[in-house]
A and B are shown apart, each in its own frame.
Chain A
Amino acid sequence: MLNVMRSTAALSFAFLGGFAIMVLEIAGARFLARDFGNSFYVWVSQIGVILAALAAGYYFGGALADRFQRASLLAWLLVPTGVFIIAIPHLSGPLLDAIVLRHPADEAVPMLWQKLDPALGSAVVFFLPCLVLAMVAPCMIRLASRRVAEVGRVSGRIYAAGTAGSIAGVFATGYLFIDHLGLAAIFRATGALTIALGVVSLWMDRWLEPVGTGSN
């Protein structure tokens, strides 16, 4: 029973983490358009920066998961990240302005910067929150694995759940949220979800505590 609960909790966690990442990516590309347009390069930047955040998040998330082996670790990361996400529409303006307005007026921005500026903008706003959200998956793998013999299955399920959440996030944002919610509301909801995940991780801490840690 505990095993079922444990794995359900871990899978839900991974699903919602993946969901939040892709809501940020899609709504984020829309958000960047006011400063950088919505050209091909904005999408390229947004996809590239989010993938970089995921790579870093997986790397550091895995290392932290082995080091602390507690779900509560996530609370310390997810709660401030949720606050950051809610603040995006209110605080990122001056940073993005600085990127755009550094170019001289009435001259075309050099092509190189037309390509790189959206990546800079995306990195300033979306790299950190997506990095933290990506840490969820390796932490869940660590906490849901009881024995080395099941690590393959557990990690497979966590990957699948996280990716399924990402798919849901893409379509929900593109087909529903953009048409029915403002961007600020989308960021507020995603921030609230992230904070909620952080709070739940404190509660999960009780029964996701690691067993068989002798391997350290």
Chain B
Amino acid sequence: MKANRLLACVACCLGLGLGPGSAGAAVVFDVTTAHHHIQVVDEAEIRTLSFNGSRETRMSLKDHLQGHFQYTEYFHMPWLWNTNLTNVLMIGLGGGSAQRSFLHYYGDVNVDTVELDPMVVTIASRFFQLPATPRHNVIVEDGRQHLRRSRKSYDAIILDAYRTTRYGSFIPYHLATREFFEIAKERLTTNGVVVYNVIGSYQGWRADILGATYRTMNAVFPRVYLFPAKDSLNVVLLGTKSPEELTPPEVHQRAAALVSSGRVKLPAFQSRAAALRSDPPRTAARSPILTDDFAPVDGLLSTGRR
């Protein structure tokens, strides 16, 4: 009995040691940088980028615009508020799912990406078909430091900069505080929006971190909408500079117009837009506003099962 358990334990450890996937998975690239242990793994026609054993990006090897995590399609939602999207800033590159699809579907949108780890930039272009185009400008730097020194204006600022390990994901707390969102707001155009990927859920699992992020964004942006992912525990938050409230019928109408005019070519745009919710998560009321002074993001991650 005991020996069996020990054996199972050893097998389990070995399995973990092999990284994500097991039979049929091929590690095509493996590197440890100052920031992460990075692996590129191919399995069943899907290429996965992993940081410290967690899955950051997925891409189909047959069709590079497929296989991605569904929540990244919510990054296209800024179109609902601005039909003239021209300049977009993305913080966090990873395998570049969002960048690849923006550059593919919108020929006149310029994307700036800020990524901390220079090796991630190399990997995105070498293994994840990130196109080299003058419309995409990659800056290797901390996102907040870059925004503080930036003088450009963006129509949308999109954040997907979680840091993940096998123990779960960690929020770079300096990218989640009221002061950070204030810096971001200053860099937005009149109809500008900030889009923020939260790993968590409405109720239960890590609902407190969602509540705190919602409240913090709402302290800076008059309207905050939520787009819960259907196939993963992600909720994408979208804060608008404009105080105008958008109702679900209006969202439906705008989404239909964007698609029929050919402005937005993302195939699932309308059904993604239909996921919009504007009711605050129940945990928002009891959650703190995160500030540079007090941002217990790590402590909040361990709660949320209450």
Which A residues fall within an 8 A CB radius of B?
Answer: 30, 33-41, 89, 100-101, 103-109, 111, 114, 178-184
Most chain B CB atoms below 10 A, which of A34, A38, A39:
A34
Q: In the complex, are the beta carbons of B142 and A37 less than 8 A apart? A: yes
* Ranked 10 nearest A-B pairs via Cβ: A37-B142, A179-B299, A182-B294, A182-B293, A179-B296, A33-B174, A40-B34, A108-B139, A108-B141, A105-B151
Q: B148 — which chain A residues lie within 8 A by C-beta?
A: 100-101
Q: In the complex, are the beta carbons of A89 and B293 less than 8 A apart? A: yes
At the interface, is chain A mostly helix, strand, loop or mixed?
Answer: helix
Known: A34-B179, A37-B174, A89-B293. A109 touches B152 (CB 8 A): no
Query: B140 at interface (Cβ–Cβ under 8 A)?
Result: yes
List, sorted by A's number, 21 A–B pairs whose CB atoms are closer than 8 Å. A33-B173, A34-B177, A34-B179, A35-B145, A36-B142, A36-B145, A38-B174, A39-B34, A39-B35, A39-B142, A100-B145, A100-B149, A103-B149, A105-B150, A106-B151, A106-B152, A108-B146, A114-B141, A179-B299, A181-B294, A182-B291
Most chain A CB atoms below 10 A, which of B140, B142, B172, B292:
B142
What separation, in Å, do the CA atoms of A81 and B159 have in the docked complex? Answer: 40
Known: A33-B173, A33-B174, A34-B174. A183 touches B145 (CB 8 A): no
Q: In the complex, are the beta carbons of B140 and A34 less than 8 A apart? A: no
What separation, in Å, do the CA atoms of A184 and B294 have in the docked complex? Answer: 9
Q: B177 — which chain A residues lie within 8 A by C-beta?
A: 34
Q: In the complex, are the beta carbons of B296 and A39 less than 8 A apart? A: no
Q: In the complex, are the beta carbons of A106 and B34 less than 8 A apart? A: no
Q: A180 — which chain B residues lie within 8 A by C-beta?
A: 296, 299
Which B residues fall within an 8 A CB radius of A?
Answer: 34-35, 116, 118, 139-146, 148-152, 172-174, 177, 179, 291-294, 296, 298-299
Q: A178 is contacted by which of B140, B144, B179, B298 (Cβ under 8 Å)?
A: B298
Q: In the complex, are the beta carbons of A184 and B149 less than 8 A apart? A: no
Q: In the complex, are the beta carbons of A183 and B294 less than 8 A apart? A: yes
Q: In the complex, are the beta carbons of B292 and A183 less than 8 A apart? A: yes
Q: In the complex, are the beta carbons of A101 and B299 less than 8 A apart? A: no
Q: A103 — which chain B residues lie within 8 A by C-beta?
A: 149
Closest to A178 in B: B296
Q: A178 — which chain B residues lie within 8 A by C-beta?
A: 296, 298-299
Q: In the complex, are the beta carbons of B296 and A37 less than 8 A apart? A: no
Known: A34-B174, A105-B150, A178-B296. A39 touches B139 (CB 8 A): no
Q: A106 — which chain B residues lie within 8 A by C-beta?
A: 149-152
Q: A37 is contacted by which of B151, B172, B291, B292 (Cβ under 8 Å)?
A: B172
A169 CB to nearest chain B CB (Å): 17
